[in-house]
Structure 1
Amino acid sequence: MNDILRPAMGDYSCPDEWLDRIAEGLSSPGFLHLKNALHPDFLEKLVGLLEAKEDADKLERAGVGKGASLEVRSEIRSDSIFWLEPEDSSAVTKEWLGFMNEIISFLRRALFLPLESYEGHLARYPEGGFYKPHLDQHRISPTRQVTLITYLNKDWDESNGGQLRLYTDIEKGIHGPYIDILPEYGSVVIFRSADFWHEVLPAKQPRLSLTGWFRGREDNPVLV
Structure 2
Amino acid sequence: MNTELLFDRVLDDVHQQGYAIIEQALCPDLTAQLYATAQAQLSAFSPAAIGRQDEQQLNSEVRKDKTLWFSGSCAAERDYLAVMEALRLTVNRHFYLGLFDYECHFAYYQAGDFYKKHYDAFKGRSNRVLTTVFYLNTPTQGGELVIYKPRSKEVAERVAPKAGTLVVFESERFMHEVLPAQQPRFSIAGWFRKNNSIAGVIDPPR
Structure 2 length-normalised TM: 0.91
Aligned residues of 1:65 and 1:138 also touching (Cα < 8 A): no
Runs of 4+ in 1 over 4 A off after TM superposition: 138-141
Which of the residues 36, 49, 70 maps onto 2:24? 36
Task: Report the residue type matching 1:91 in the other structure.
Answer: A
**Partner in structure 1 of residue 161 of structure 2:** 183
User: How many residues end up aligned between the 2 structures?
Assistant: 199
Quote the offset at 1:206 in angstroms: 1.1
**Partner in structure 2 of residue 193 of structure 1:** 171
**Partner in structure 1 of residue 121 of structure 2:** 137
**Partner in structure 2 of residue 49 of structure 1:** 37
Indicate whether 1:146 and 2:146 are aligned. no
**Partner in structure 2 of residue 9 of structure 1:** none
**Partner in structure 1 of residue 183 of structure 2:** 205
**Partner in structure 2 of residue 121 of structure 1:** 105
SS in 1 for 2:41: helix
**Partner in structure 2 of residue 67 of structure 1:** 53
Structure 2: runs of 5+ lacking an equivalent:
none
Output the CA distance in 1 between the equivalents of 2:169 and 2:163. 19
- 1:82-114 Cα shifts (integer Å, max 9, x gaps): 1013xx321111111111111111011011110
**Partner in structure 1 of residue 62 of structure 2:** 76
Quote the offset at 1:139 in angstroms: 6.4
Quote the offset at 1:66 in angstroms: 1.1
Q: Percent identity?
A: 32
Output the CA distance in 1 between the equivalents of 2:33 and 2:182. 24
Task: Report the residue type matching 1:123 in the other structure.
Answer: A
- CA-atom RMSD, angstroms? 1.6
